[in-house]
Structure 1
């Protein structure tokens, strides 16, 4: 863990255009004069240094100095390095020395914190600018609304200067800086939190990182930096904010406390508490903002970090008084259009609020995507209505353990409890027991049916899931917002599985299927269903854009569970785009963000997809290790374990064990298609056609595609038929259509297959096209098709399969057990394969079959 964030040299991020432009202005013949203005820590000094260095590189004579509180009253102390021994400086001697040093070169003078420069030094700098034609680059802090006036001291105020406002870093520049400083990827949620707290201010970021390093909140997990826990109470941040805020008059300090605790407070209410003068003082110091909104002018802290630190430093008794004062002030001023805010303030102050009003306010908070607030409003209530809303709020936040304790001890709704036991706590057996204990009438309730379907789809075996899949296409209106959100997401999932991805895309577009507004993990699941449906419907470019948008929105909401799923599905879309190298990072991020709030059983699916990407890049050992991890993330007997089998097929294929992969794919495709999971069945049947082309495999894929609504599946079927028929023109046409849709990896496979089947000029043209499609793609297996074996005879499918297993390091008895054949049969097949390949021993098989050896080489 590095902890030198304060002392190490940081790169200048996102300022290259500014540096070039400013250096050009300062070194031009008419000697530009520039004043850099910006808030403390925004990066003025770093920009100033970089520009002066660039001027020196262009041949200018550069002199720099910095003002400060310790130099503002002593003549020439700030400029003492410019000429002469200490104590001998006079105006004339300094002016002559500087001009002599510059000689014929352009003179550039840089003054950091020019507003703290003493009068004599300011006069000298002004004289050098006016008489010697010196260019000026000055910096000053600008706390005032109109900062230019009065910033430059003495005679410098009469020197015309171009004012340049130094803004905080843009979000992309901030992201680049953060990665550079931490020397590695950072999860999106952490990046978003640091961005919001620092608002692009590099100094604040530096202190935040140091606070995280010292407290242990900033850690590296799965190779990705992530932050856990609060930040505002760290002593370093308190010191930083104290320095930025300065010493405030009592009324202004009180006003800042009110605003920090409220988050947002009506101006009229705040002025009734502390007066207009204190409010104006905070505005002059740029510590608050006042903005008109629909409910009137609202006051907020100017920087999130100010609020974080002020709140962390306010004791509990003081907080109670502040909230009581705020609630009283709002009531005196006629109340607020938002009924939730004064209710919450009164609760925080320990005042009484009628229960019915609290439950209504909590329900409104849930509808407005604020389950945290809903929880706080009803946490101390015990009526059935309050318990239901409280339980929903806990489940929506992913607080599964707390929700189970509440729902179990206070007789909460059984369907809600079952959903939480399954999706939240990953205890499907207990969830089934809750539902099995219901009487016949309760079992028929819409919300109970939704919970039962979820359990059947994700925890029972394939045959049970097949039976329940059609019923999941319905979305019963239970009147319970959380259950209805779960039902809508299940419906999107079921429709996609049943071969209707295009329909899912259309229903999302017109709002027939929506995103849960407050339940982060379920919202992420719905987003994943949406993006996956787009990928399977042939709308890959839209899928990539939508996945990126979902990631950004999850960052803004700060929901780890949602972001984990959004990052995961973005990785899936990148994999289908033929960019597995780019897919690894969001999939790693998804693994790092998965926690107890992530709905079950997503973690295993994420790790399986990561294994597929690693295999596609030729990293088969890493992929195999990931599959071993994924195996422990799926419940035994669950239909979801078939995702693991899909990963195994991809890893075997990428490793060159094509016969083995083809056999597994063939069986898996049959399992999916027989179970009514048509979309995944088509995906695996398509892979089977590419692994072992045949008329039967192509026919199965064609028939399955006909049952679905995706035009992409029809294109897959054409690809399979062209491979089986060795149709060069057909493969070329398929490749171009796949490329036009964005499926570059599949397009490259089709072109390579066509090239292998052609000769002469056609082969040359296809080789050129393959090169175009491969440009910019990462190195890795070129396609899942089997590489030609050396030797005079062609291996049978069983011979190749046994050779692949032998090359992977398996013994004859292990192979026999795996394939359920005798050891003698294994030995006979191996010997025939040796004869055909012209090899004599097991160790020669990898080279003969173009396979990786058992040690991965």
Structure 2
């Protein structure tokens, strides 16, 4: 995809403000609408859209821009509104002629004037505009900058009952997502959204320049699915640099030094800053003062200020500022918990080295905060001869969490295992190696090797039990869920009662996932809720996955149980938790969980977006989630009609032996692509084979999903009995709803289909519900029950609108397919997908003549004569 240079961004993320404008503008007494906000939040852009909206309702628009230069000349800002030859010395004549020019002789014209930066308007213009407003000759849309004393013009024109104010704040992260999608054409990844929101502070002007700089420097790129920033890469444009430099120029020399110190070391205690500078800098809006209990600290007012200040700092000045601040911290005793991290970081930045013990202590603190990049930076500076068990373990586990340098990670974890002295250290080292191998090995069962080799050294009861729990976690998630769950049977629900927090973290995650996979949804949810709550309370773990991973697994458990809305909310909670964390593995797990929740819910476009984010963020050695992401994108693209992307994803999928978390579901991409091309029988065959594999492995959740898709692709009569059996194994409302769907499709009973549509809608499975409602409408049309048919068709249309762009065989237009037999419908769908009669005949094991006869019957019943008309008839809902 080429680099888009966005000259003028489409307005997005301001629907609420535009709705307010439309409401107040429609009021008879409205005279003025004021758009107020800080510099750069997009006041002018919103005001322009308001003017355009007024024009759509018959108002003739005009514009005036107040500037300091125009303010020096009376009526300078609105001189273009004054007719030629008017004697400006006669105010009454000026008013009369301007009013006549604006509204016409009989005052029939409706005039709206946009005045940008009203606070800069000269007094004469303000007086004339006030007269015109009072006379009803025009209405005013204006922008005003907040945070400054109101001028006479602002007071004169924005007072009274006819004035309405719209306060415009910075973009929220959700609004920023809308803005970027409108500007770039495709969604941005969640990490990229967070980086841009943090850096811009939601300021529209700063955001635009950051995005344009990243596009120009090719650090913001699109893989065809989503836009992502390179790690730690944000590039400002020259315009943005000038804007920030002009803003920082308000500081005097003493204030400048305070700003530079904060840029290097923020947050800092107020006592460490020059005595008078903070008050002046806070008044100028350059720093913020924070009160945290009895401690008062200062930070820069905007993240971009720090970037600009650091970029302009000479090396020697940087060196002096860092060491001076380190000395001040030591002088007051360095008693705070975070002081060790600050001292190590400042010393390392200033000199390139630091005390080894301080580096390890600082890295431990950074690991508690899940700032993995800082851990890697601190321990990367540790001399090889100074390595300890703790440093090797922290460094190796950090590289695993970051997805970086698996060879070095393995070497460091192996060294930690050799340096381990007691059983606790040995178990911790085994845990780290298990997590590493489970995530990176071609065969995840290789993660059993360090467990098996450690049994010779760890023989006490507690140690043996911990090794057995780790084995259960590996087996449960590597194709043997029944054995794994048996080994995990006595796992504690409360991490505070567990003998080893890290082992509990990994094994409890495995148990939650495996219970849900086995269809034991109530147990999975109960376990997941307790485990997530317990994990959130742990702040001293040294290795293992972040708490967000438990939230991601809980989201999956909710979804399998049919609580899809709660699953979506829980995944969002995980993203909220991760917002301030540097935890790539957590992001990947959460994006995967969100993608699967959206797939089950039927929001296929959203599922595609989240699977694309997994694929973008998961390095090659994140194999456990890497493979399902390819299948997820391929299946989603096929259902959305993007067959080219679906085929590309299947072609790109690497041929590796690593078993994924949902191995049988990797067939979904191939099967839905076949279905989109009209090969329903082949699609069913692929799904049937994988469903049998899932059945043999005890993968209940996957088997149910695959069998449901067989039913959706015309094979309901072959799977309804097995789905009923699976329903008896699962709890929650989702399993029975899917079993009832297969039964209703087999019976082809519109009453049953109508009922199951409501049942599926209640759990949040909108696409399945839409398919059931569409088929119910077809059945009612066939019976001649037009009222019920229309009601079901309307229900289906409402549900389909929630499934952006989805196209499946069961969504074919009900009126079109009602008159067709099952065989005629199948052949018509294949023909509409572009298949030749010979290809259809080969696929269905029929003669070409038989296919043509069925196709001719379909043409006659549908009133069409060509395949183009057939496609239109089958894909257009009433």
Aligned to 2:634: 611
The residue number in structure 2 matching 1:292 is 291
Shift of 1:252: 0.5
2:206 equivalent to 1:204: yes
Q: State whether structure 2 residue 688 is matched by structure 1 residue 670.
A: no
Question: What's the TM-score, normalizing by structure 2?
Answer: 0.76
1:534 aligns with 2:550: no
- Partner residue in 2 for 1:282: 281
| Alignment check: 8 A CA contact 1:488 1:513 kept | no
Give the structure 1 partner of residue 510 of structure 2: 490
Residues 52 and 739 (structure 1 numbering): CA distance in 2 closer, same or farther, change over 3 Å? closer
Q: Count residues in correspondence.
A: 806
Unaligned 5+ residue runs, structure 2? 104-110, 160-164, 420-428, 873-878
> After superposition, what is the alpha-carbon deviation per residue over 1:452-474, rounded to whole angstroms, capped at 9, x for unaligned?
56665666xx5x67655643566
Residue in 1 aligned with 2:809?
782
Deviations 1:42-75 (A, max 9, x none): 223334555667778866795624323x566677
Partners of 1:110 and 1:754 in 2: CA distance? 54
1:266 paired residue among 255, 269, 275:
269
| CA distance in 2: counterparts of 1:716 and 1:753, whole angstroms | 15
Secondary structure of the 2:457 match is helix
Aligned residue among 741, 764, 767 for 1:742 = 764
Q: 1:167 to 1:627 in 2, by over 3 A?
A: same
Q: Among 646, 649, 652, which residue is 1:629 paired with?
A: 652
Q: Which of 97, 101, 106 is 1:100 aligned to?
A: 97
Partner of 1:192: 194
* CA deviation after TM superposition for structure 1 residue 257, in Å: 1.5
Per-residue deviation at 1:427?
7.9
**CA 1:758–1:217: 2 relative to 1, 3 Å:** closer
Q: Using a 3 Å threshold, how does the CA distance of structure 1 residues 297 and 846 change in structure 2: closer, same or farther?
A: farther
Which residue in the other structure is 2:723 paired with? 701
Aligned pairs (5 A) from 1:84-483: 92=89, 97=94, 99-103=96-100, 105=102, 112-113=116-117, 122-128=122-128, 141-142=145-146, 147-148=148-149, 152=151, 156=153, 159=156, 161-162=158-159, 166-228=168-230, 229-231=232-234, 235-270=238-273, 274-275=274-275, 277-294=276-293, 296-332=295-331, 337-340=336-339, 342-344=342-344, 347-348=347-348, 349=350, 359=360, 362-376=363-377, 378-379=379-380, 380=382, 382-401=387-406, 403-404=409-410, 406-407=412-413, 413-424=429-440, 440-441=456-457, 456=475, 467-468=483-484, 470-471=486-487, 475=491, 481-483=501-503
Contact persistence 1:232–1:238 (CA under 8 A) = no
Question: Given that residues 773 and 792 in structure 2 are in contact (C-alpha distance below 8 angstroms), is that contact kept between their aligned partners in structure 1?
Answer: yes
Match of 1:643 in 2: 665
Stretch of structure 1 that moved more, 505-514 or 435-444? 435-444
Rounded Cα–Cα distance in structure 2 between residues aligned with 1:285 and 1:90 = 43
Q: 1:740 to 1:109 in 2, by over 3 A?
A: closer
In 2 relative to 1, CA 567–9 (structure 1 residues): closer, same or farther, beyond 3 Å? closer
- Per-residue CA deviation, residues 471-490 of structure 1 (Å, 9 max, x unaligned), is 35665888665544322222
Secondary structure of the structure 1 residue equivalent to 2:807: coil
Q: Which stretch has the larger CA shift, 200-209 or 547-556? A: 547-556
Q: Structure with the greater relative contact order (CA < 8 A, sep ≥ 6): 1 or 2?
A: 1
Alpha-carbon deviations, 1:190-230, whole Å to 9, x = none? 22221221122121112112211222112122242222142
- Any conservation in 1 of the 2:741–2:756 contact (CA below 8 Å)? yes
Q: Of 599, 624, 630, which aligns to 1:601? A: 624
More deviation, 675-684/429-438: 429-438
SS of the residue aligned with 1:92?
coil
**2: CA distance, partners of 1:51 / 1:293:** 42
The whole-number CA distance in structure 1 between the counterparts of 2:585 and 2:705 is 27
Matched, 1:570 2:594: yes
- Are 2:535 and 2:547, in contact at CA under 8 Å, matched by a contact in 1? yes
Following the alignment from structure 2 to structure 1, what is the Cα–Cα distance between the partners of residues 229 and 659? 36
CA distance in 2, matches of 1:503, 1:308: 49
Query: Aligned to 1:511, what secondary structure does the other structure show?
Result: helix
CA shift at 1:284, angstroms? Answer: 1.2
Provide the secondary structure at the position in 1 that maps to 2:691.
Answer: helix
Provide Cα deviations, 1:502-559, integer angstroms capped at 9, x if missing partner.
Answer: 2111222233676678989766654443222212212122223333444455455465
Question: Taking structure 1 as reference, are residues 345 and 524 closer, same or farther at Cα in structure 2, changes over 3 Å only?
Answer: closer
**Deviation digits for residues 247-288 of structure 1 (CA, Å, limit 9, x no counterpart):** 421110111112222232222333xxx11x211110111011
Cα distance change of structure 1 residues 45 and 743 upon mapping to structure 2, 3 Å threshold:
closer
Q: Contact conserved, 2:770 with 2:811, CA < 8 A, in 1?
A: no
Instruction: Please say if 1:499 is aligned against 2:519.
Output: yes
Helix, strand or coil at the partner of 1:489 = helix
Aligned equivalents of 2:748 and 2:194: distance in 1? Answer: 51
